[in-house]
Structure 1
Amino acid sequence: MPQKLSPISKPSELVASVQEKNLVIVDARAGAGAKDRYAARHLAGALFVDLEKQLANVPADASKGGRHPLPDLMQFAQVLTQLGIGPDTHVVVYDDKNGGNAAARFWWMLKAIGHENVQVLDGGLDAAVNAGFPVSSAEETPSIPEKTYERLRWTLPLSDINEVEKVANDVDYLVIDVRDKDRFDGKVEPIDLIAGHIPGAVNIPFTSNLDANGFYLSPAELKEKYTEALNGRDAQHVIVHCGSGVTACHTLLAMAYAEMEIPKLYVGSWSEWSRTDRPMFTLTKD
């Protein structure tokens, strides 16, 4: 295994590395019936991680942190041990939405605690199956890692609602909303209470990181795309958000794949912002 892994694993690479001793494959699909869908059909050997219960501390009131706040660090350390993940583990994580479900979120969380050997499977579940990776409906059992994570801290940059409010209209900063254009424009809102966006934010849908076949654009294409968007701004002056801090990680992953510095993640995102008295752009008022 190379010293520095690409954050993206091609399906053929996963097929080739299946016998690797320290490999742990994680299925991070989310949404209704995710665990049942995993149980019915998943990549052989893959372990399920639950966005709602293991990758977030879902609050009763989403106005305080959004719909998917980060979990307590001690809780996350326990989750990693349960999945058989330690500091020396090579993790490949996938979902059924080309990384836009929770695979990129889990990648970001591992990177944020300093775990370098983690990749997202390009194209997700179906791409691996098409490449010849076997599927299973068996109950999978994790191995106990030789070393475990105990004391953790988030080392990647984070933003919060107060900073976003302060800088959203500052030309020296860039606030990127990765939701689809109709949600950003306030035409539809399938999840949160109010349709619209944070005034001053720009819309770069995370789906634009992918080609027509659902695979990530090349690092060169992504670098050109985001270098133009940032327009000379330092990564510390860039904040990326979405609905609840999940799909925003898809864009952070894209920038890492392009060998760019990872900007700040605003985890609370629109789900938090839209439940407060902060200014909002909607179709009925600005």
Structure 2
Amino acid sequence: MSPIISPSELKRLPTENLVLLDARVGKDVYRNYLDKHIKGARFIDLDKDLAEIGENAAFGGRHPLPAIKKFAQKLSELGISEKSHIVIYDDKNGANAAARVWWMLKAFGLEKVQVLDGGFQNAEKQNVEFSSGEEAFEKSDLIKHENWLLSISTLEEVENELINGNSTVIDVRDAYRYKGESEPIDLVAGHIPGAINIPFSENLDENGNFLAPEILREKYVKLLEGKPENLIIHCGSGVTACHTILALHHAGFRIPSLYVGSWSEWSRREGKEIAKEI
């Protein structure tokens, strides 16, 4: 199953076991969900459901993963079971919480998980049916897992991998943030020494849809030529990094490791070197 699904393909899916998740973020996001969402979609919150935000981002970053048991409880509340076919969307071309949800569901062990290509806006353009208000659905039985099943890297592991030259660390933030020209979210501009910059936006075409798998594969093969095959992906807080992980999987690569803490952790951790290109 492709990790990406188009609006036209979504419209043809059987409704049995189908679960749509609205993962939009921002101010008044739940009110926006109630005002308009794809018919049947259930709301999932980045800050409350997809992260366990702590007091000090120097240890874990701005969006550390929640305990897996807490996430399992949320899936039960959303009516998600091992039989579910889950399609997630946001309004950032899948580049924000939709990709994070996809990664977490795959890391939880669920198989039928896809991100809607082009997200909310593309669904509107393609005349997908929308609705408003609350959606009625039943809870599912709790799925029990003890550990995340996909690779996760810690700050210390990222540092050691770079020192030893065993991994390629990819920073998917915009180039101006990587170069250290300015930083709109975190406290310090710059990047992890040794990390390379491939902005997640380059995974998309001019319409905000994912590039075709063969184009993505050709692009990343060229960019990673001569570099260690083991990949660690990071961004600002472990959210948009999942967009590039999704793109790499879509292109046929093995799912790489996610550095969840990302720049928000590294840049706050005392004693860590910060590189700039200005």
TM-score, length basis structure 2: 0.95
Aligned residue number for residue 14 of structure 1:
10
1:131 Cα deviation after fit: 1.3
Q: Deviations over 1:205-255 (max 9, x none)?
A: 0000000000000000111112223326565x2110000000000000001
Aligned residue number for residue 229 of structure 1:
223
Q: Deviations over 1:104-148 (max 9, x none)?
A: 000000111111100000000111121121112221122333x53
CA distance in 2, matches of 1:218, 1:143: 36
Matches within 5 A, 1:3-42: 5-17=1-13, 19-42=14-37
Aligned residue number for residue 93 of structure 2:
98
Matching residue within 89, 107, 114 for 2:109: 114
Aligned residue number for residue 248 of structure 1:
241
1:163 Cα deviation after fit: 1.2
Aligned residue number for residue 182 of structure 1:
176
SS across alignment from 1:156: coil
Aligned residue number for residue 122 of structure 2:
127
CA spacing shift, 1:141–1:37, aligned 2, 3 Å:
same
1:271 maps to a residue whose letter is S
CA spacing shift, 1:168–1:43, aligned 2, 3 Å:
same
CA distance in 2, matches of 1:159, 1:201: 14
SS across alignment from 2:88: strand
SS across alignment from 2:49: coil
CA distance in 1, matches of 2:164, 2:225: 14
Q: Kindly indicate whether the alpha-carbon contact (under 8 Å) linking 2:153 and 2:258 is maintained by their aligned counterparts in 1.
A: yes
Matching residue within 200, 204, 207 for 1:210: 204
- Is 1:196 equivalent to 2:190 in the alignment? yes
Q: Deviations over 1:29-81 (max 9, x none)?
A: 11222212212111111011000000000111100100000000110000101
Percent of counterpart pairs with the same letter?
52
Q: Kindly indicate whether the alpha-carbon contact (under 8 Å) linking 1:91 and 1:117 is maintained by their aligned counterparts in 2.
A: yes
CA distance in 2, matches of 1:233, 1:23: 40
CA spacing shift, 1:233–1:149, aligned 2, 3 Å:
farther
Matching residue within 251, 256, 259 for 1:263: 256
- Is 1:49 equivalent to 2:44 in the alignment? yes
CA distance in 1, matches of 2:42, 2:137: 7
SS across alignment from 1:275: coil
CA distance in 1, matches of 2:203, 2:277: 27
Give ranges in structure 1 of 5+ residues lacking alignment.
Answer: none
Aligned residue number for residue 135 of structure 2:
140
Matching residue within 130, 149, 166 for 2:143: 149
2:128 maps to a residue whose letter is F
SS across alignment from 2:33: helix
1:221 maps to a residue whose letter is I
CA distance in 2, matches of 1:229, 1:51: 31
After TM superposition, what 4+ stretches of structure 1 lie above 6 angstroms from structure 2? none
1:238 maps to a residue whose letter is L
Q: Kindly indicate whether the alpha-carbon contact (under 8 Å) linking 1:223 and 1:255 is maintained by their aligned counterparts in 2.
A: yes
1:201 Cα deviation after fit: 0.6
SS across alignment from 2:194: coil
CA distance in 2, matches of 1:267, 1:84: 26
CA distance in 2, matches of 1:132, 1:148: 35
1:73 maps to a residue whose letter is I
Q: Kindly indicate whether the alpha-carbon contact (under 8 Å) linking 2:108 and 2:145 is maintained by their aligned counterparts in 1.
A: no
TM-score, length basis structure 1: 0.93
- Is 1:76 equivalent to 2:56 in the alignment? no
CA distance in 2, matches of 1:75, 1:208: 34
Aligned residue number for residue 160 of structure 1:
154
2:3 maps to a residue whose letter is P
Q: CA RMSD in A?
A: 1.5
